[in-house]
Amino acid sequence: MKQCCDMKGFLSFIVLKLISKRNMSGDDIREELKLRKGTRPSPGTIYPVLKSLSKNGFIEEIKNDRKAKKYKLTKKGQKEIKVATKKFCALFYDMKDEFGKCCD
Handedness of CA 94, 99, 103, 104 (dihedral sign): positive
From 77, 75, 18, 15, select the one nearest 48 (Cα to Cα): 15
Q: Alpha helices of 1-104 — where are they, by DSSP H?
A: 11-21, 26-37, 43-55, 75-92, 96-99
pTM: 0.78
- The most confident of 2-6, 7-11, 21-25, by mean pLDDT: 21-25
CA dihedral 32, 62, 15, 88 (to 10 degrees): 130
pLDDT band per the 50, 70, 90 thresholds, residue 7: very low
The 3-state DSSP class for residue 19 equals helix
CA distance 37 to 84: 21
pLDDT tens digits for 58-90? 999 998 777 778 999 999 999 999 988 888 877
Q: What CATH number is given for 4-103 in this structure? A: 1.10.10.10
pLDDT band per the 50, 70, 90 thresholds, residue 5: very low
Domain chopping of the chain, boundaries: 4-103
14 vs 10, which has greater pLDDT? 14
